[in-house]
Chain A
Amino acid sequence: MTPPFAPWADPDAKPLIEIRNVTKRFGAFEAVRDLSLAIHEREFFAILGPSGCGKTTLMRMLAGFETPSEGEILLDGQDLSPIPPAKRPVNMMFQSYALFPHLTVEKNIAFGLKREGTPKAEIAERVTDIMRLVQLTDFARRKPDQLSGGQRQRVALARALVKRPRLLLLDEPLGALDKKLRQETQFELMGIQETLGTTFVIVTHDQEEAMTVSSRIAVMRAGELAQVATPTDLYERPDTRFVADFIGEVTILDGIVTAASRGGVGLSVMEGAPDLRIITPHTPPAGTQAWLALRPEKVSISRERPADADNALAGKVLDIAYLGNISTYHVALPDGSIIKAQESNRQRADRRGITWEDPVWVAWEEDAGVLLLA
């Protein structure tokens, strides 16, 4: 068995890109604030965040269209700042695709190679190869306005990849495509990235996209990194309420830490209810304010109090979102807060018989949720 691909976990591994304490100001506005990050060779790295969080600015600094106000960006240990975009071994796939409207697909793709002064025969060969890879061979002589959205996206990808960059930047690459095409293209992108072994950095605001394609995700918020982790860690072990809430669905209950025991803590969330048991590596002192983040699929719902559950609370069904394969129940607790519980509909939903206004119990294991201190 090959070991899992995780160069970031290896302290001796040399990162391809090192962003060191980078700050970017536009006037008084700090778009990126004292940000440090390492990206490794062959990674498919996603920068995820709401609009205006600085992710595009960060990418434009990697491409060379913006210069950091402070800090430095290294590629293979070499400072990138004096190198103009034209000379960097970094290429970008633009959000608008930025295909040259006056050139055919073929000439768009060959554009960068011609600039490098690559011999004609080699250009022809590389362009043919890359067009085959992205399945554009039949459209070589078309102009961009005669292509569909998906085809344009592939031209933009091919045009950037044909230069064999060390690092490929993708700015919201699938944002213009409809949902079904976007899902197909995500897998195509992953396939191409694996085939070529190029390091990809993708900027997106779509968390599903980031989760699907990337090896690691950096979540950005207001110019800073909120958390950098693999998709699994980000989902299962968020560091903050912001990350927990930004990725996937979650219920966040706030409470006071009561006692620590057996590798976990107790959390008092409501008067009159027993303290919740949470397994956590943190050891906050009693009295600390903390939050419990619970994914709905880890919470079960039943009419009777489950006998063996670590945590159980009584409530009333407020809403049911029936999605066919799963149903999400919004259960109101006596203090008014709402907890989401998800059940997969292995049985026909109508046979379960839980409906609006029913008194129910929600329950979860002690290791189901995550204790958050921020």
Chain B
Amino acid sequence: MTNRFSWFNATSLTLGMAFLYLPILILVIYSFNESKLVTVWGGFSTKWYGELFRNEAFLSAAWVTLRVGLISATVATLLGTLAAYALVRAGMLKGRTLFSGMIYAPLVMPEVITGLSLLLLFISIGMDRGITTIILAHITFGMCFASVVVSSRLVAFDASLEEAACDLGCTPVQAFFSVTLPVIAPAIVAAWLLAFTLSLDDLVIASFTSGPGATTLPMKIYSQVRLGVTPEINALSTLLIGFVSIGVILASLAGKRAAVE
């Protein structure tokens, strides 16, 4: 049994982790740079964070993003769980191939195509573009990711648990709520987190489906970044990275504790 790192493995792990984390680390360090020139170190300062919080445009974009993320992740998780259940359990044989195709296709579909097609749909049904259309778009791809996460747990779920619940007096619906749901709950939480993160992260689909007055944070960042690197964006990125890292670490600790219990 391997109990130690071989030098080759240690080297590739070190280089690999450096490759993955150095760019992010540099970004974080330079967010505390006094200088306006992002590549020249001018001393430690937190002034760009102050600037950030005084920037109305960023704040309102953040608020839009948060609302889109919360609503779309929640609906996407609900629909995704139902979809996973239909795929794995309910044996919807007719149209099952088409259904599973529609679930898996958005996972590999280039975002430009998904974005374009949704936009053209909204236009052709005469729907005003704005925060609602972004939410609808994010629900659509979010539910596909959510359903993949939930169905991988459902596949491993012993179907006789549900039968046992029925045998002990549950209707199929009661069996779902008293047995299936608690058992797959961790996967549902993971699915929500994934849908939420993807929504927060999305630039391309939001750009296609948004309208006047609905600018998400990635759209705002993108328009700034096209003009060049700015310390304010570094500060914003650092905050986002911080939030996400804390969230992921907390989630994994909670998962570990649940596993121990």
Binding site for B on A (CB under 8 A): 63-65, 84-87, 90-92, 94-96, 98, 100-102, 111-112, 115-116, 143, 159-160, 163
Contact = CB atoms under 8 A, between A and B. Distances in A.
B25 to A, nearest CB: 39
Q: Which of B160, B164, B174 has the most CB of A within 10 A?
A: B164
B170 A94 contact: no
Contacts of A143: 261
Nearest to B258: A102
A112 B168 contact: yes
B128 interface: no
A302 to B, nearest CB: 54
Interface string B146-169: 000000000000101101111111
Nearest to B182: A102
Nearest to B158: A96
Interface string B220-261: 000000000000000000000000000000000000000001
A101 B183 contact: yes
A91 B161 contact: no
A111 B165 contact: yes
A98 B169 contact: no
B161 to A, nearest CB: 5
A100 B178 CA distance: 10
12 contacts: A65-B163, A85-B163, A85-B167, A91-B168, A96-B158, A98-B158, A98-B161, A98-B164, A112-B168, A115-B170, A159-B164, A160-B167
Nearest to A169: B167
A65 B167 CA distance: 9
Contacts of A112: 167-169
Contacts of B88: none
B11 interface: no
A111 B168 contact: yes
B160 A63 contact: no
B161 A84 contact: no
Contacts of B169: 86-87, 112, 115-116, 163
Contacts of A96: 158, 160
Given A115-B169, A115-B170, A116-B169, A94 B183 contact: no
B164 A92 contact: yes
B66 interface: no
Contact of A85 (B158, B166, B178, B179): B166
A159 B164 CA distance: 10
- Identify whether the interface residues of B are mostly helix, strand, loop, or mixed: helix
Nearest to A116: B169
Given A100-B179, A100-B183, A102-B183, A159 B168 contact: yes
Interface residues of B, number: 18
A94 B165 contact: no
Interface in B131-149: none
B160 A163 contact: no
Interface in B88-107: none
Contacts of A92: 163-164, 167
Listed from nearest, the 10 A-B pairs whose CB atoms lie closest are A112-B168, A115-B169, A98-B164, A98-B160, A102-B182, A94-B160, A85-B166, A86-B169, A92-B167, A98-B161
Q: Which of B161, B174, B182 has the most CB of A within 10 A?
A: B161
B171 interface: yes
Given A100-B161, A115-B168, A163-B169, 15 more contacts: A65-B166, A86-B169, A92-B167, A94-B160, A95-B160, A96-B158, A101-B183, A111-B178, A112-B167, A112-B169, A115-B170, A116-B169, A159-B164, A160-B168, A163-B168
A63 B168 CA distance: 11
A258 to B, nearest CB: 55
Contacts of A163: 168-169
A63 B167 contact: yes
Contacts of A87: 169
Contacts of B168: 86, 91, 111-112, 115, 159-160, 163
Nearest to B175: A86
Given A100-B179, A100-B183, A102-B182, A86 B160 contact: no
Contacts of A63: 163, 167
A100 B158 CA distance: 10
A84 B160 CA distance: 16
Nearest to A143: B261
Nearest to A94: B160
B169 to A, nearest CB: 3
A126 B218 CA distance: 60
Contact of A115 (B160, B163, B174): B174
Contact of A98 (B163, B174, B178, B182): B163
Nearest to A165: B167
A160 B160 CA distance: 14
Contacts of A115: 168-170, 174
Contact of A94 (B163, B171, B174): B163
Given A96-B158, A100-B183, A102-B182, A86 B171 contact: yes
